[in-house]
Each structure stands twice: as C-alpha cells, then as structure tokens.
Structure 1
C-alpha cells in the first residue's frame, strides 16, 4: 500500500519520524495534514524543509489532505501521513478519507486539560473521543514512540484515562 505509515505526533516531522521510522516503513514523501499548519507560511516552510534529501513533504489542510490521500493510495511511491492530533484524523475519516487500518501514536505533549495515559502521551477528552471513534471503525491504534519500543494498543492505554 502506498501509504506506508500513519502517525499522530504533535511535533509532526522530526528525527524519530524521518530517521528511525523510515528504516522500517518505505517513505518517498510525507503528507502533513493540519489546518493550522497549512495556514501558517512559516510553519509550512519549516516542515517542508524538515525531511532529508529525496523525501518530498507537502503540507495540507484537511480538505486538501483528503485529495492527497486518495492520490497517494494509487501512487507508485510510498507516503507517510502525519497529523498533530487524533481529532484531525477523525475529521479525515468522517469526510471519507481512507488511509488504512493502522495508526501509530507518537508524542502528544502534556497540557493543562490533558491526562497522561502513556509515555510522552497526554490526551484531552476530545482526543479520547477521537481515539474511541477510530477504534470503533476497526482502526488498530498503537502507541509507540520509536520502532525499538514495544507498542501499546489503544484498548490498553484507554484504561489509564
């Protein structure tokens, strides 16, 4: 499948994603889907230049991302899809986006309205609902910062909420 990896990561593109995960999953391009980043020219520039040579990066809002996911599914190259929050991924699914049945969750920083549920992962009520929604759609959600760590499935992590 040309979409080789789907990740929720509030840091979006950084060393763990590019250097470590790309050794385990093929990656010719990265689709960053986030409404706020897509509207911010500086952030767009930072993220489009964050990948190593040879890996193209596109930054899109949810509507544009839906189109790019559809194209990536039939492309010859392999793509990572990265969103900052599970709420964005839920919106993509609700609008008909189909990226596969597996989601990897990386860092989600602690915030005043969030509860820590796993290593480097804190979620809000809205994010919990988004994970529950994805789980109800049969999507396998694994919390795993780097490939060398053991993954924790949402059903286990959810018990910590």
Structure 2
C-alpha cells in the first residue's frame, strides 16, 4: 500500500468554491481536489451539489466526490502523480478520515460559520463542543490544526483560539 500524496487538507463549510480554486489550489500546487463529504458524494442533492462545485473548479483540477468511508477505503490506491487536496466541511469528517488511516498531518481551517450554539474564535471560524472534541482527537493523532483563511495570513492554532475566545 502506497502513501497518497496529500498536499493539503482544509475544512470549509462551503466545500469547493472559487477561493479554493484561485488561492489554495494554486498555493498547494494540487492537481486533484477530493471533496470528502457524505452529502456531496451520495446525498439526495449530490448531483446538484457536484455540478456547482465542478463549475467552481474551472476545469483546472480533477475533482472527485467520495464519502468519508470511500475515501478511507481507496485513498491508498491514489497514483503518486496525484497531488491531492482533501476538502471537508467539518472537523468531525477530518477526524474520521485520520482515525480511519488517511495520512493527514495538517488540517487548515478556513470557514466554519456561526450557528446557534457555536462561539466565534476567529473572523471566519465558529465552533461548538463537538468541533473542539474533533480537533482534540486530531491533535492526539499528531495532526496540526490551524486557522488560516488565505495563504497570506499567519496560521493560528485552533485549540489555542478556542481556549482564548
């Protein structure tokens, strides 16, 4: 089993959109964006979601939509030529990937919008106790978790922000 060439992992509630293609895709030099999300892969609105996200990719990247479990099952079959950008919309999904054996070492947190029951820890990131628990599980697995909306910003530790918020 080979280790997949994962060049970036990001949490963004919006999943694949223009900012991912324009800033993060170019910054990471990815050639494949893997949207690891159960709803986008096989939910009732999957076809609609995928169409919008494929349009956002602008044809510059190969795009795949896998459930969390399928990602765990097939990621190690990736070609070494694939420079994979893993995109999830929750820290729980990233934690499930890591606990399932996906070799993620860093998780970039971009957009987790404020909802009832969440507290804002950065301009674009709000968390609840379940999110914090998932980040703690990731850190225990050796994954660095940082908030950084765009590449020109300085990364900040998610858990440190959560404690100080």
For 1:41, which of 22, 33, 47 is the aligned residue?
47
Which deviates further from its counterpart, 75-84 or 38-47? 38-47
Aligned mates of 2:74, 2:55 — CA distance in 1: 19
SS state of the match for residue 116, structure 1?
Answer: strand
For 2:75 and 2:52, how far apart are their aligned partners in 1?
Answer: 22
Match status 1:8 vs 2:14:
no
Whether 2:95 is the aligned partner of 1:103: answer no
Aligned residue in 1 for 2:123: 119
Q: Does the 8 Å CA contact 2:145/2:158 hold for their aligned counterparts?
A: yes
Corresponding residue SS for 2:113: coil
Q: Which residue of 2 aligns with 1:89?
A: 94
1:48·1:58 contact (CA, 8 Å) conserved in 2? no
Match of 1:57 in 2: 63
Q: 1:91, CA displacement in angstroms?
A: 1.2
- In the alignment, the residues of structure 2 paired with residue 96 and residue 138 of structure 1 have an alpha-carbon distance, to the nearest angstrom, of 12
Whole-angstrom distance in 2 between the partners of 1:22 and 1:37:
19
Q: How many residues align?
A: 159
SS state of the match for residue 53, structure 2?
helix
Give, in whole Å, the separation in 2 of the partners of 1:17 and 1:46.
13
| Runs of 5+ consecutive residues of structure 1 not aligned to the other structure | none
Quote the Cα distance in structure 1 between the aligned partners of 2:73 and 2:51.
Answer: 21
SS of the residue aligned with 1:106? strand
Query: Gapped runs of 5+ residues in structure 2?
Result: none
After TM superposition, the score normalised by the length of structure 1 is: 0.91
Distance in structure 2 (CA, Å) of the matches to 1:143 and 1:76: 28
Question: Which runs of at least 4 in structure 1 moved beyond 4 Å after TM superposition?
Answer: none
> TM-score, normalised on structure 2?
0.89
